């Protein structure tokens, strides 16, 4: 099969190699992490089965999020793609779907096999950030994880294995049951204001403004916050700085801290869906 790689981060360098190792043909455009880029998008997408767009897909909702290349409007971009091909990208917005003009669009992060497997490198990257930015060990520390999704659970199990005292927040009785089944402490999100000061490390996985201006006032000044939620995160980083709290936003961790593993995860999903679509 033939794949076109448009833009992208370090994981796309590995993705290109993996696809070519499997015998597929690839072409790249405006991907600073790959060699031998095509001179134009038209050259890159010509005859392709699937186009692999950037992560995140857009910049300012109307243009493709390319690297140093000139911006291109979404509507113009999709006119260049063969109508029968597929389009894969990350954080696909409604504007992208509307501009696709009938082309089948997949968001990596809504594909269950990608979301589940990505939780592991995401959790490892979050822990790496916490270790590098803190002057204390995670072992024996009191750790709060805001959220109860895939990344939160993977993070909780890793941290527990490292000897941390882990608490996860929840809103629903079923989530509380899952947390208790993992032998972890559960806290209802409504208790956060009264208990936030108890924790040495806080990891936010919830894509909502949980750690806002008011909530941060209840945090201990020595708490280290690592936010891995989808952009723009769930922390008021300006307010954290004003209060002297160390807070870090860490988006796209799989692509930054484990690009090869991230590429392997993407490749499996891309190949499966492309083969199914074309009956190959």
pLDDT at residue 68, as a whole number = 73
100, 58 in Cβ contact below 8 A? Answer: no
Can you tell me the distance from the alpha carbon of 14 to that of 9, in angstroms, rounded to the nearest whole number?
10
CATH number of the domain enclosing 77: 3.40.50.720
* Residues 6 or more apart whose Cβ sits within 8 Å of residue 72: 41, 63, 64, 66
96, 74 in Cβ contact below 8 A? Answer: yes
Residues 91 and 184 in one domain: no
Residues 124 and 189 in one domain: yes
Cα 72-74-78 angle, rounded to 5 deg? 105
How deeply is 178 buried, as exposed, middle or buried, from its count of CB atoms within 10 A (0-12, 13-18, 19+)? middle
Residues 205 and 240 in one domain: yes
Residues 130 and 208 in one domain: yes
Residues 74 and 165 in one domain: no
Residues 243 and 147 in one domain: yes
Can you tell me the distance from the alpha carbon of 202 to that of 250, in angstroms, rounded to the nearest whole number?
13
pLDDT along the chain (280 residues), means of 10: 92 95 94 79 95 90 82 92 95 93 94 95 97 97 96 97 97 94 95 97 96 97 96 94 97 91 97 96
pTM of structure: 0.88
Residues 123 and 87 in one domain: no
Residues 135 and 230 in one domain: yes
How far from 264 is each of 87, 115, 150, 154, 254, CA to CA, in Å?
A: 18, 13, 19, 19, 11
Q: Which domain holds residue 159?
A: 118-249
Can you tell me the distance from the alpha carbon of 138 to that of 151, in angstroms, rounded to the nearest whole number?
18
Residues 54 and 172 in one domain: no
Please state the φ and ψ torsions of residue 192, each to the nearest 5 degrees.
-55, -45
What does the block give as tokens for 233?
A: 């995160």
Q: Say if strands 63-64 and 58-59 run parallel, antiparallel, or are unpaired.
A: antiparallel
Residues 242 and 125 in one domain: yes
Question: Count of domains in the chain?
Answer: 2
Residues 154 and 222 in one domain: yes
Residues 97 and 150 in one domain: no
């Amino acid at each position: 099969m033939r794949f076109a790689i448009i833009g992208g981060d370090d994981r796309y360098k590995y993705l290109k190699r993996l696809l070519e190792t499997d015998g597929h043909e690839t072409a790249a455009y405006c991907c600073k992490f790959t060699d031998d880029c095509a001179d134009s998008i038209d050259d890159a997408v010509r005859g392709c089965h699937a186009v692999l767009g950037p992560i995140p897909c857009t910049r300012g909702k109307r243009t493709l999020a390319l690297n140093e290349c000139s911006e291109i409007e979404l509507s113009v971009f999709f006119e260049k793609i063969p109508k029968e091909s597929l389009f894969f990208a990350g954080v696909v917005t409604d504007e992208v779907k509307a501009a696709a003009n009938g082309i089948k669009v997949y968001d990596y992060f809504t594909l269950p096999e990608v979301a589940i497997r990505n939780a592991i490198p995401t959790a490892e990257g979050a822990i790496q950030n916490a270790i590098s930015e803190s002057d204390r060990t995670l072992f024996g520390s009191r750790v709060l994880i805001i959220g109860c999704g895939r990344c939160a659970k993977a993070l909780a199990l890793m941290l527990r294995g490292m000897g941390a005292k882990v608490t996860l927040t929840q809103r629903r009785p079923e989530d509380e049951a899952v947390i208790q089944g993992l032998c972890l402490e559960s806290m209802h999100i409504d208790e956060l204001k009264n208990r936030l000061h108890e924790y040495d490390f806080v990891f936010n996985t919830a894509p909502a403004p949980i750690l806002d201006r008011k909530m941060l006032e209840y945090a201990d000044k020595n708490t280290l916050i690592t936010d891995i939620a989808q952009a723009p995160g769930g922390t008021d980083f300006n307010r954290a700085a004003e209060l002297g709290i160390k807070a870090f936003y860490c988006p796209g961790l799989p692509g930054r801290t484990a690009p090869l593993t991230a590429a392997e995860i993407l490749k499996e999903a891309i190949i499966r869906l492309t083969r199914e679509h074309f009956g190959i």
